[in-house]
Amino acid sequence: MIIPVKKRIQIFDTTLRDGEQAPGASLTPEQKIVLAYKLAELGVDVLEPGFPISSPGDFAAVETISRKVQGVEICGFARAVRGDIDAAVRATRDAERRRIHLFISSSDIHLRHQLRKSRPEVVAAAREMTAYARQFCEVVEFTAMDAARTGIDDLIEMVEAVIEEGASIINLPDTVGYALPHEYGEMFRRVRLGARGGEKVSYSAHCHNDLGLAVANSLAAIAGGATQIEVTVNGVGERTGNCALEELVMALETRGDALGAETGIVLDKLYDTSRIISGAMHFPIAYNKPVVGRNAFQHESGIHQDGLLKDRSTYEIMDPERLGIPRSMIILGKHSGRHALKDRAAKYGIALDAAELDALYESFKETADRQKAVSDDELLRMVSTATGQQAQVYELGDVQVLAGSAPRRVAAVTVRHLQNGTEKAYTSTGSGPLEAVIAATSQGIAEHISFAGLELHSLGSGENAQAEAAVMVEWEGSKFRGTAIHQDIVMAAGIAYIAACNAALLSAQVEQVREAAFPVVE
């Protein structure tokens, strides 16, 4: 049996350039350098770290990234203007591998209303500036901006001109997210086959998501002959954003046999990279965001939960753990069934008999009907009541936080060790009340468990709104998640932190029991 060879798609990441152009997403040069390393570790092939001519900070960031970040091609972005090209050339001069990426508009709409130039003038500028850039760099990428709304003959004329002057990569963007997939794919086919020299160069797609079609259009471009896709992490970018790196990569990974294409992205770094970019840009990730959204691998329906517990493939087409996502697929809410409750208790090392499960289920349903979800902390308390066993290791007691205009906040907490019956008070400070409470609480945890992240969400509006906190901790190389719901966001965070620590410690206890029952025989 002959296995067909898949086409290798180059991932061109423009998170730090086009992604940063989203309102409110700007990054400092120092942040860009840190993120550039992360994107290189993710395995992107080309990195566009900024627009050198746009500001001294952007120039410095591109220059530093070019000098320090290895193993990835660095792209200097420029308008088809000598000054822009000069800045891009200088900023990328120390790169291990580099390219110059210049652009000019190609559609009648842009020529008439933005550039206010005739088509011969614009084609002449594209030709002249491509030749100029080619003097300094072997790899020149040319972008015909608004290509998707350009007449095909006009587009071919411009592409032919820049190919003659040495452009080796042609980018045909859907700049305003207007194209339909069949139209976009056909444009690539017609240019590739219709332009003189068109089959001797590579093609790139750069899609925006105004109609929610950026990923679909990018896949259509691949079918039409594109071998490079320009993406951003989390789909950030102008207006509704760009083609999302994680969505494109997982479409190719999941349906690669049908699409005949693959990438070199390191899958288990997708989730962490997504969260780091989200945090740096202060752009929250939608709950229902494909691949990396909070709900992407979480299931509340009892029917779905039952299927997943029997075989993951019943309701999941991707394995979250391959993407670096902690396994927490079962969300306990009013639609959950007994199987999910029994499974969650088992993960904490607690086996429930029929009577205990019935008692737990009755209490659980009553709570779930009153609120959107049941947190780990609440569930463990219910399990303790239903079984008469202490299901928790630690519990957060009294919490007092001193707020005000001073630069540091002071928190005092009590932490109960439920399995040995002790309770102690701890105090600490932090730059905010949440930091102070976490710092104080951590003193009461005997084990060296590291705080790894916090998410806060509102579960309503008005005076009775509650906050849901999700805390991630790391212990002995593994990550554990705890959730809590409270009207006070500080309390929610503190309780969620304790719940995450309990999850880690109870998981360890389960593993110790398993090892004792099934010792390794050498």
Nearest to 408 by CA among 426, 428, 382, 383: 428
pLDDT at 522: 47
Query: Measured between alpha carbons, how far is 72 from 46 in angstroms, rounded to an integer?
Result: 6
Joined together, the tokens standing for residue 97 give 């591998």
pLDDT at 339: 78
Could you read off the pLDDT of 147-192 as tens digits, one per residue? 999 999 999 999 999 999 999 999 999 999 999 999 999 999 999 9
pLDDT at 268: 95
Query: Measured between alpha carbons, how far is 222 from 230 in angstroms, rounded to an integer?
Result: 12
The answer for 429, left when phi > 0, alpha when psi is -120 to 50, beta otherwise, is: beta
pLDDT at 304: 61
| Residue 75 three-state SS | strand
Query: Measured between alpha carbons, how far is 331 from 298 in angstroms, rounded to an integer?
Result: 6
Alpha helix segments (H runs only) across 235-375: 245-254, 256-259, 270-281, 302-310, 338-347, 354-370
Structural domains in the chain, CATH included, are 7-281 (3.20.20.70), 302-387 (1.10.238), 394-516 (3.30.160.270)
Could you read off the pLDDT of 266-301 as tens digits, one per residue? 999 999 999 999 999 999 888 889 999 877 776 555
CB-CB contact of 110 with 147 (8 Å): no
Nearest to 175 by CA among 186, 167, 184: 184
Residues counted in the chain: 522
Secondary structure string (H, E, C) spanning 187-200 = HHHHHHHHCCCCCC
pLDDT at 61: 97
pLDDT at 168: 98
pLDDT at 406: 79
- Tell me how far the alpha carbon of residue 518 is from its chain's centroid: 39
The partner residues of 456 in beta bridges, in order of sequence, read 469
Joined together, the tokens standing for residue 57 give 């900070």
Could you read off the pLDDT of 290-348 as tens digits, one per residue? 999 877 776 555 566 566 557 667 767 788 888 887 655 556 767 777 777 787 777 77
Query: Measured between alpha carbons, how far is 466 from 461 in angstroms, rounded to an integer?
Result: 8
- pLDDT under 70 in the chain at which residues? 1-3, 298-309, 311-312, 315, 326-331, 333, 372, 461-463, 508-522
The DSSP H or E segment spanning 430 is: strand 422-430
pLDDT at 397: 93
Task: Return the ∠ at Cα 185 (arms to 179 and 186), rounded to 5°.
Answer: 100
Identity of residue 268: D
